[in-house]
A = this chain, B = another copy of it.
C-alpha cells in the first residue's frame, strides 16, 4: 500500500467535529476488526433500508454475507450503493451542562458498491476467513460448507476507498464558567465482555478430542 491514509471525499469530509476525524488506515482497520457487527444501509425503491450483520476484512477489502433472499443484500448485489457503519460505544461523557453531554466512541463509515462473489472457491475462502475471525483454528474443526450452502449464501466484497473514522475519548469539555458548578462530571465507561462459553445442550463431550474443549 503506497499510502497510509484514505483519501478524503466530499462525503467523508467531516462537516462538524473534524478534530475527531481520522483517515488513518491502521486506525480504521482496528475499529473494523474489533467489531463483530456492522450496520449496512442502502436505498431500495427510493427509501432507506438497513440491517445489522456480521462482517470481516482482508486487507483493503470488506466483506458481508447472508441469505441470497435478504432484501438489503440483494439490492446491493443488484448494484445499489451501500453505506456501512461500525460503532463502538466506549462511555458516556457526563458534562456539567446538558449541552456538553456526549459519548466516547470509535466509529467507521464507509461508502461503496458491493461485488458479488460467484466463484465457489472464493466463497469458500471467505467463509474460512469469517469463521477464523470468530474463533481461530475453528475452520479445520467444523464441517465446511457444501455446494448447496455456498449457493444459498450471498457474499459481498467492498473495496475500502471512501472510508473515515471518527473517535471521541477523554473528559467532558465544559464551558469555562461551568467548571465551578457543584455537580459531578466525568466519564461512565462501558465495554463489551465475553463470558464463559455455554455448551450446546446437545453437546456430547465424549466426542471431543482431548485438547480442543472450548
Contact = CB atoms under 8 A, between A and B. Distances in A.
Interface string A79-105: 011111101010110111111010101
A178 B94 CA distance: 50
A145 B97 contact: yes
A105 B52 contact: yes
Q: How large is the interface on A (under 10, 10 to 19, 20 to 34, 35 or more residues)?
A: 35 or more
Interface in A175-214: 178-204, 207-209, 212-214
Interface in A42-72: 42-43, 46-52, 54, 67, 69-71
A77 interface: no
Given A70-B16, A171-B200, A50 B43 contact: no
A194 B15 CA distance: 31
Interface stretch (A22-30, A114-122, A136-144): A136-144
A144 B98 contact: yes
A20 to B, nearest CB: 12
Contacts of A143: 96-98, 178, 181
Nearest to A44: B11
A41 B50 contact: yes
Contacts of A43: 43, 46-48
Given A43-B46, A50-B85, A181-B142, A186 B207 contact: no
Contacts of A83: 41, 47-50
A86 B94 CA distance: 22
B191 A197 contact: no
A78 to B, nearest CB: 14
Given A94-B197, A101-B131, A189-B196, 9 more contacts: A15-B69, A37-B103, A47-B83, A96-B142, A99-B146, A181-B207, A183-B208, A184-B199, A186-B214
